Amino acid sequence: MSADDPRSPPRPARLASRELYRRAFLGVHEHTIALRSGGDRRVISLDLPDCCVVVAVTEDGRFVLVRQHRHGIDASTLEPAGGVVERGEDPAAAAPRELREETGYELASVEPLGWAHVNPPIASARVFFFLGRGARRTAEPVDDECEEVETVLLDEADVVAQLEGGQFTHVLAAHALTLAIARLGRERVASADRRAVERVLALLDGMEAHAHGKVVALARRLLPGLTAEDLRNPHDFPDLDDPDWHFEDGQLVGIQAVRFAIRSAARDLLGHGDQEEGTRAGAGETG
């Protein structure tokens, strides 16, 4: 719930604020806030820079991760590359920069996956999540003895297993991976749906061609010499008032209507296919 949401509780008034500590990227502030009872209390907030996390995936589907020591827990974690967004830097530029510095990998493309507050109870900093595609090793990682980093490549099944097993203990890493895997999964489902639609449309195209051939052949047996243009206006030819011809023509129209409906639904739901003409009228569409 955002601060502008009308359902949000009242924002406490800050009566005073002061900085208690400042070093490098960390600032500690103390705020005196007014209480509804008329009193006040002091709260602490941290001034931290925004950061980014990029889930990089190679062309063959492996996730580019880093294992590094984290001083807060005095232990190593496995996570996607990421780091601080420099002042004035676009997060979308910071993400591939951090990946390049930590792993030596470059990306073919970078897509935003959203953002979140790092720890809203005590800090306003944001973390920006990205999915990087086409990751490939082009250089050595930047040598930084203060940040020893090991590159680890895992396939998606291993990443999912470790997520479910709780091996990704950095919450920002786990969230970034979850977002990336969800997007990749939706794309695979959409791709499978498109392939299924294409198979159905191909089947209907074959059925339509077969039905059209039967309609044309029957019409020309009834009236030898009919052209495709003639068949566009069958009511001009009373001799085509034949139950067998009308049955076959009805079958053809039905197939065309189904094909049109499926293509329209696919275009609306999947963005599938190019612009298609309306349902074609009976046998008169082709010669």
Residue 187 domain-assigned (yes or no)? no
Q: Is there a single domain that holds both residue 63 and residue 124?
A: yes
* pTM (predicted TM-score): 0.73
Neighbours of 49 (CB within 10 A): 17
Give the pLDDT of residue 280.
Answer: 42
Give the pLDDT of residue 277.
Answer: 43
pLDDT tens digits, one per residue of 12-59: 899 999 999 999 889 999 999 999 888 999 999 999 999 999 999 999
Give the pLDDT of residue 230.
Answer: 73
Q: Is there a single domain that holds both residue 107 and residue 199?
A: no
Residue 24 domain-assigned (yes or no)? yes
Q: How many domains does the chain have?
A: 3
Give the pLDDT of residue 275.
Answer: 41
Give the pLDDT of residue 238.
Answer: 67
Q: Is there a single domain that holds both residue 165 and residue 55?
A: yes
Give the pLDDT of residue 237.
Answer: 67
Residue 184 domain-assigned (yes or no)? no
Residue 178 domain-assigned (yes or no)? no
Residue 1 domain-assigned (yes or no)? no
Q: Is there a single domain that holds both residue 91 and residue 117?
A: yes
Q: Is there a single domain that holds both residue 38 and residue 89?
A: no
Q: Is there a single domain that holds both residue 41 and residue 73?
A: no
Collect the ranges in the chain with pLDDT lower than 70: 1-5, 228, 231-239, 269-287
CATH of the domain at 78: 3.90.79.10
Domain span holding position 30 = 14-47
Q: Is there a single domain that holds both residue 93 and residue 39?
A: no
Give the end of a domain, one of 169, 204, 231: 169
Q: How far is CA 11 from CA 33, 126, 133, in A?
A: 10, 20, 41
CB under 8 Å to 106, separation ≥6 — which residues? Answer: 96, 99, 100, 135, 136, 138, 139
Q: Is there a single domain that holds both residue 70 and residue 160?
A: yes
Q: Is there a single domain that holds both residue 150 and residue 202?
A: no
Residue 179 domain-assigned (yes or no)? no
Give the pLDDT of residue 234.
Answer: 62
Q: Give residue 169's identity as a one-letter amino acid code.
A: T
Give the pLDDT of residue 169.
Answer: 93
Q: Is there a single domain that holds both residue 233 and residue 277?
A: yes
Residue 9 domain-assigned (yes or no)? no
Residue 185 domain-assigned (yes or no)? no
Q: Is there a single domain that holds both residue 158 and residue 237?
A: no
